[in-house]
Amino acid sequence: MPSIRFHDLRHTHATLMLLQGIPVKVVAERLGYSSIITTLDTYNHLLPSIQRDAVTIFSKNLFSK
C-alpha cells in the first residue's frame, strides 16, 4: 500500500467538500485559512465543474414545477 502524506488527505478532504457543494468559505475555515483567496487559488480547477453542476441543478428545480 502506498504511503499517503497528511497534505494529500487534506487536499482530498477539501476537494470532496467543494465537489459536494459546501461553500468555499466553510472549506477555507475548515482548512484553517483566514481568507478564501488561498482556497480559491488552490482549488480553482474544480470551480468550472461546480458551476456547471449548479446550473444543471438550478435548471431542473426551476423547470420541474
Q: How open is the CA angle 8-39-10, to the nearest 5 degrees? A: 20
- What confidence tens digit (pLDDT) does each residue in 12-53 have? 999 999 888 899 999 999 999 988 999 988 888 877 777 787
Q: How confident is the model at residue 65 (pLDDT cuts 50, 70, 90)?
A: low
* pTM of the predicted protein model: 0.68
Locate the domains of the chain by residue range.
Answer: 6-63
Answer for the pair 14, 27: CB distance below 8 angstroms, yes or no.
Answer: yes
Rounded Cα distance, 1 and 16, in Å: 22
pLDDT at position 45 is: 80
- Report how far Cα 6 is from the mean position of its chain's Cα atoms: 18
Residue 1, SS3?
A: coil
Residue 65 is given by DSSP the state: -
pLDDT at position 31 is: 94
